[in-house]
Structure 1
Amino acid sequence: MSIAKSIRAQIPPIHPEGYPFIGAFAFASLILLWIWSPLGWVGVVLTVWCALFFRDPVRVTPTREGLVVAPADGRVSMITQTVPPPELGLGAAPLLRISIFMSVFNCHVNRSPVAGRIERIAYRPGKFINAELDKASEDNERNSLVIVTPAGRIGVVQIAGLVARRIVSFVREGQSLVAGERFGLIRFGSRLDVFLPEGAKALVSEGQTAIAGETVLADFRVGDGGRTFRVD
């Protein structure tokens, strides 16, 4: 393998949603370079950051039934028992919620935590307060999915953050997903909540770094054997 091919192999692909933004940053950088080069180089750095933000790397997903994988890259910010948003239709009893906070430096392509059928998609407009705060689950703009699985109905909530202003969904109601499949993204900085029915056991801790489609968040089985993997 040539050096050029080796370098290209190390660069993750860019999600098509990012092309307009990267192009806009690059165009602005060219103008700034022409006007005043120091400011233009700041634009170049921001263009590189924008490209990294929309990166969409290949992931290897464990696919054994009962596993729940991370839907987002980021930090596990909260693990708690709480009542899910009403639009999910998951009832008024507290459920296990695992929250992952994505900074502006994380990959923001979101992946399904489980294999199943999308029963419901519910979008709700809202505020843009810091997504790390617990009240962001109630006040912020969000897009919610309910996925039906053999272990029960699982809620996945995309929550816009302080900087984020757009939640993008790639899926529709009635669609079937496999674990680790891409279902949306959020621009720029946000949070993902996963609501799990009774019987799920969290396998991560607060402060842990999660990798979308790879990190196992929870398991509906007592044991942890017999995993297979899917490479996208």
Structure 2
Amino acid sequence: MKDHVLIREGLPTLGVLLIFTVILYLLYPALAVIGIGLILYVLFFFRDPKRTITIDDKLVLAPADGLVTNIEKVFEPQYLQEEAIRVSIFMSPFDVHVNRSPISGTVNYLEYRKGEFISATKSESHEVNEKNFIGITNGKRKVLVVQIAGIMARRIVNWTKMDQNLTQGEKIGMIKFSSGTQIYLPCSTEILVKKGEKIQAGKTIIGRFAND
């Protein structure tokens, strides 16, 4: 874990667990093991590993760690407003939950939408669950990253703002505990991952843009 840092969003949870562990210890010392176990898991969950990012405007990097659960063509009405390729990624409680920008560009679309918190493994979750939309353009191309809450995830964290310039692989947010992330790409994009493949944010190349 020497190459990992702790995401600041994990500090409040750690503080609560520390108090909880002290209370357990005062009630019955052996119970403190429960609190210590929870603290270790939170430290593990909110880890932020250092990653070397290779910047290439022709490539699309994974926006999240996890399992590719679906790749399909759909109509994207929010931002691209056209047929697009949607790559869906499931983030388990054991994956790194930091989201990263798949391309270098400018944030010119943001929308937060309240919703439900059903399991991210269910196909309907991307329709009904709480989500956050981040649209990024580099002048030539547009991609949309969607952060989706899950049955355990009760808070979506967005670190971007409108008109912010992003570098490919830059951190853009996270989702607390198991959740899902989707990326919508132009139909001309060559997809380089397959359903069932494990990927890493900022490291795995998931697509290659068509030549302009």
**TM-score band, normalised by the shorter chain?**
over 0.9
How many angstroms does 1:195 deviate by? 0.1
1:72 aligns with 2:61: no
Q: Give 1:89's aligned residue.
A: 79
Q: Give 1:220's aligned residue.
A: 209
Paired with 1:208 and 1:10, the residues of 2 have a C-alpha distance of: 27
Correspondence for 1:210 among 182, 199, 209 = 199
Instruction: Tell me if the contact between 1:66 and 1:151 (Cα under 8 Å) persists in the aligned partners.
Output: no
SS of the equivalent of 2:206 reads strand
Paired with 1:102 and 1:183, the residues of 2 have a C-alpha distance of: 16
Residue range with higher mean Cα deviation, 117-126 or 18-27: 18-27
User: Partner letter of residue 168 of structure 1?
Assistant: V
Correspondence for 2:106 among 107, 117, 128 = 117
Paired with 2:134 and 2:9, the residues of 1 have a C-alpha distance of: 20
Q: Give 1:157's aligned residue.
A: 146
Correspondence for 1:196 among 170, 175, 185 = 185
Paired with 1:32 and 1:51, the residues of 2 have a C-alpha distance of: 19
What do residues 159-207 of structure 1 show as CA deviations (whole Å, max 9, x unaligned)? 0001111111111011110111011111111111000012211111111
Paired with 1:220 and 1:70, the residues of 2 have a C-alpha distance of: 14
Q: Give 1:22's aligned residue.
A: 14
Instruction: Tell me if the contact between 1:151 and 1:220 (Cα under 8 Å) persists in the aligned partners.
Output: no
How many angstroms does 1:208 deviate by? 1.1
What do residues 66-101 of structure 1 show as CA deviations (whole Å, max 9, x unaligned)? 1111111111111111222x3x2322x431111111
Instruction: Tell me if the contact between 2:3 and 2:50 (Cα under 8 Å) persists in the aligned partners.
Output: no
Unaligned runs of at least 5 residues, structure 1: 1-8, 223-232
State the TM-score, normalizing by the size of structure 1. 0.86
Unaligned runs of at least 5 residues, structure 2: none
How many angstroms does 1:116 deviate by? 0.5
SS of the equivalent of 1:117 reads strand
How many angstroms does 1:221 deviate by? 4.5
SS of the equivalent of 1:192 reads strand
Paired with 2:191 and 2:118, the residues of 1 have a C-alpha distance of: 27
How many angstroms does 1:131 deviate by? 1.0
1:174 aligns with 2:157: no
Residue range with higher mean Cα deviation, 105-114 or 30-39: 30-39
User: Partner letter of residue 50 of structure 1?
Assistant: V
Paired with 1:90 and 1:51, the residues of 2 have a C-alpha distance of: 37
Instruction: Tell me if the contact between 1:110 and 1:212 (Cα under 8 Å) persists in the aligned partners.
Output: yes
The root-mean-square deviation of aligned C-alpha atoms, in Å, is 1.5
SS of the equivalent of 2:87 reads strand
Q: Percent identity?
A: 37
How many angstroms does 1:30 deviate by? 1.9
